[in-house]
């Protein structure tokens, strides 16, 4: 049985705790490896070594740090197939979807190649008599990234790129369910020229997470996962004086107006609702057609599309649309929520509960399911299912549909499909959600903007990647400098303007 350890000071090291977590093959239900769970002592060693390495890395000029990102990006491209296979093997997503996972992370690394432009400060000469003012952006020091199972490459890259190119050292704690990709990315960064110790990958469970949150050397923490854990990490990090950005769950709605192209809307819903088996924080899980005629026509188009979806292991190549969910516990939870929807009166139009795949009977597969006539009081509406389940909530009017989105506790992403510019503009302006799509189902911004939700989907003031990431991973120091140049002035005890 393969044992997966950690990445400390530029090399793979075995764990010493004697504790392990199983790394599953979601398609077969078999254990394919064991990953070591670090002790607090191992974590402390990694942090202390990162702090030593960070001193020299901060002193490396931003252009040279950017060149490491350039070389890193090239290596990611060269190893795209290997990375995608690694992602698919441990997560279960298809190879094309896994390549998308890697590509969207790579795009953030490409922005980090221009990090020097993001790290510039401000300057004002002659702000007063012989006085110059300037502000510098400096790294926080040692920071940590705690990343989820559903994007084994993308989200670690979202954390690694901005943090390291800003001059920080990073402790990366990936999900113990998908540890291999982060370790391989660390190897590629070393090949790209990153000094040993600047990136440490420490695998672990809650013991390591709490150790990160409590360790005095860690200055900032970035997290992506469920809302309860995001809130916990944000609160504990803040109470220990750390900067934190924590992104949680979602319940993303897509409104379909009567004037929308319903074929395009149906295609968008299938892709956004069932891709990656619904294990995306930006998945559309609620369709909101406006008007009964629109709803009936939409369901009529959705059913044949959903029934044609092919579910299977990533090894089947391009012949499948999505794979298994991550664990048996996830599968059981999804099936339980589907059952609750039926019990509470929703209409199960497409039933994925009985899905079986010959030769993969023990895999964590759930067939695609479609509900109609869902109401906001039902559990399938209130909870983030994180599975291949699409719920349809019928709205009488645009205002009713908008209210549904705005009243929801989550505010990660939302979309509207319409041919009317006024409606689209009104929706984008009024809706209290962080990322909005207009005739675009998964509105993940390009990497030179920033990603982030509102309400209980995010905790913290700054978003991921883009300009906000560089603000998060740096602190501002403002210098007031004076050169007397013959100015004669006696002592003053008064607090006064500089002019």
Rounded Cα distance, 41 and 136, in Å? 35
**3-state SS, residue 21:** strand
Q: What are phi and psi of 337, to 5 degrees?
A: -70, -40
Per-residue pLDDT at 495 = 63
Pairing, β 389-392 against β 369-372: parallel
CA distances, 350 to each of 54, 148, 275, 277, 438 (Å): 54, 29, 16, 15, 27
Model's pTM, two decimal places? 0.95
Taking 60 as the threshold, does the pLDDT of residue 450 lie above it? Answer: yes
Per-residue pLDDT at 186 = 98
Q: Where in the chain is the domain with CATH 3.40.605.10?
A: 2-248+457-479
Strands (E), 174-214: 199-201
Per-residue pLDDT at 207 = 97
The answer to whether the beta carbons of residues 418 and 307 sit under 8 Å apart is no
Q: How much is the average pLDDT of 144-160?
A: 98
Rounded Cα distance, 140 and 177, in Å? 29
Please choose, from the candidates 26, 34, 25, the residue with its C-alpha nearest in 3D space to the C-alpha of residue 3. Answer: 34
pLDDT tens profile 329-370: 999 999 999 999 999 999 999 999 999 999 999 999 999 999
Annotated catalytic, 281?
A: yes
Domain 252-438 sits in CATH at 3.40.309.10
Using pLDDT thresholds of 50, 70 and 90, give the confidence band for residue 375: very high
Using pLDDT thresholds of 50, 70 and 90, give the confidence band for residue 484: confident
Alpha helices, H only, 431-481 = 466-472
Using pLDDT thresholds of 50, 70 and 90, give the confidence band for residue 485: low
Rounded Cα distance, 144 and 223, in Å? 9
Token pair 């809307």 is found at 265
Per-residue pLDDT at 489 = 64
Per-residue pLDDT at 128 = 83
Residue 97's contacts (CB-CB under 8 Å, 6 or more residues apart) are: 88, 275, 276, 322
Kind and range of the H or E element at 229?
helix 227-239
Taking 90 as the threshold, does the pLDDT of residue 129 lie above it? Answer: no
Fold of 2-248+457-479: Aldehyde Dehydrogenase; Chain A, domain 1 (3.40.605)
Residue 14's contacts (CB-CB under 8 Å, 6 or more residues apart) are: 3, 5, 36
Rounded Cα distance, 475 and 472, in Å? 8
Per-residue pLDDT at 493 = 67
Alpha helices, H only, 317-391 = 328-343, 379-382
pLDDT tens profile 20-73: 999 999 999 999 999 999 999 999 999 999 999 999 999 999 999 999 999 999
Q: What are phi and psi of 195, to 5 degrees?
A: -60, 145
Rounded Cα distance, 365 and 367, in Å? 7
Using pLDDT thresholds of 50, 70 and 90, give the confidence band for residue 174: very high
In the numeric block, which tokens belong to residue 313?
A: 């292991």
Q: How much is the average pLDDT of 459-466?
A: 93
**3-state SS, residue 381:** helix
Using pLDDT thresholds of 50, 70 and 90, give the confidence band for residue 86: very high
Kind and range of the H or E element at 70?
helix 62-78
The answer to whether the beta carbons of residues 94 and 323 sit under 8 Å apart is yes
Please choose, from the candidates 239, 250, 272, the residue with its C-alpha nearest in 3D space to the C-alpha of residue 440. Answer: 272
Marked catalytic residue, from 50, 115, 257, 281: 281
In the numeric block, which tokens belong to residue 456?
A: 């209980």
Torsion of CA 190, 139, 107, 253, to 10 degrees: 130
Q: Where in the chain is the domain with CATH 3.40.309.10?
A: 252-438
Per-residue pLDDT at 490 = 64
Using pLDDT thresholds of 50, 70 and 90, give the confidence band for residue 404: very high
Per-residue pLDDT at 462 = 92
pLDDT tens profile 221-237: 999 999 999 999 999 99
Taking 60 as the threshold, does the pLDDT of residue 17 lie above it? Answer: yes
In sequence order, the β-bridge partners of residue 246 are 223, 459
Per-residue pLDDT at 13 = 98
Residue 81's contacts (CB-CB under 8 Å, 6 or more residues apart) are: none
Using pLDDT thresholds of 50, 70 and 90, give the confidence band for residue 91: very high
Q: How much is the average pLDDT of 257-286?
A: 97
Rounded Cα distance, 181 and 203, in Å? 12
The answer to whether the beta carbons of residues 408 and 415 sit under 8 Å apart is no
Total residues belonging to the chain: 499
Per-residue pLDDT at 497 = 61
Per-residue pLDDT at 127 = 84
Taking 60 as the threshold, does the pLDDT of residue 429 lie above it? Answer: yes
The answer to whether the beta carbons of residues 328 and 151 sit under 8 Å apart is no
Taking 60 as the threshold, does the pLDDT of residue 499 lie above it? Answer: no
Per-residue pLDDT at 496 = 63
């Amino acid at each position: 049985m393969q044992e997966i350890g950690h990445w400390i000071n530029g090399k793979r090291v075995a764990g010493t705790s004697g504790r392990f977590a199983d790394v599953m093959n979601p398609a077969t239900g078999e254990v394919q490896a064991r990953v070591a769970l670090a002790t607090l002592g191992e974590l402390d060693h990694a942090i202390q070594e990162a702090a030593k390495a960070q001193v020299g890395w901060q002193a490396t000029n931003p252009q040279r740090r950017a060149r490491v990102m350039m070389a890193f990006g090239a290596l990611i491209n060269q190893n795209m197939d290997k990375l995608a296979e690694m992602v698919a093997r441990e997560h279960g997503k298809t190879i094309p979807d896994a390549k998308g996972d890697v590509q969207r992370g790579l795009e953030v690394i490409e922005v980090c190649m221009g990090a020097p432009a993001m790290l510039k400060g401000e300057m004002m000469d002659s702000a007063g008599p012989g006085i110059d003012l300037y502000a510098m952006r400096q790294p926080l020091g040692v920071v940590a990234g705690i990343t989820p199972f559903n994007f084994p490459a993308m989200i670690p890259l979202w954390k690694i790129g901005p943090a390291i190119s800003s001059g920080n050292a990073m402790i990366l704690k990936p999900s113990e369910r998908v540890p291999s990709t982060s370790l391989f990315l660390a190897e590629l960064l070393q090949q790209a020229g990153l000094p040993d110790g600047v990136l440490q990958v420490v695998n672990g469970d809650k013991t390591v997470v709490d150790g990160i949150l409590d360790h005095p050397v860690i200055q900032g923490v970035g997290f992506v996962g469920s809302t309860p854990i995001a809130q916990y990490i944000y609160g504990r990090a803040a109470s220990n004086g750390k900067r934190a950005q924590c992104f949680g769950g979602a319940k993303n709605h897509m409104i379909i107006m009567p004037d929308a192209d319903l074929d395009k809307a149906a295609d968008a819903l299938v892709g956004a609702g069932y891709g990656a088996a619904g294990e995306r924080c930006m998945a559309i899980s609620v369709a909101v057609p406006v008007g009964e005629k629109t709803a009936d026509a939409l369901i009529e188009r959705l059913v044949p599309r959903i029934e044609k979806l092919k579910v299977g292991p990533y090894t089947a190549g391009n012949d499948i649309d999505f794979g298994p969910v991550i664990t048996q516990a996830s599968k059981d939870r999804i099936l339980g929520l589907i059952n609750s929807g039926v019990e509470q009166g929703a209409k199960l139009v497409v039933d994925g509960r009985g899905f079986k795949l010959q030769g993969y009977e023990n895999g964590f597969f759930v067939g695609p399911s479609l509900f109609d006539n869902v109401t906001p009081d039902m559990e399938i509406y209130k909870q983030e299912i994180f599975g291949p389940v699409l719920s349809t909530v019928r709205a009488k009017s645009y205002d009713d549909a908008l209210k549904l989105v705005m009243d929801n506790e989550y505010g990660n992403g939302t979309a509207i499909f319409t041919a009317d510019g006024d409606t689209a503009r009104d929706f984008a302006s009024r809706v209290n959600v962080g990322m909005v799509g207009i005739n675009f189902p998964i509105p993940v911004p390009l990497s030179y903007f920033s990603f982030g939700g509102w309400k209980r989907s995010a905790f913290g003031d700054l978003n991921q990647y883009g300009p906000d990431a560089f603000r998060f991973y740096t602190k501002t120091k403002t210098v007031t400098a004076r050169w007397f140049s013959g100015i004669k002035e006696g002592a003053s005890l008064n607090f006064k303007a500089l002019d």
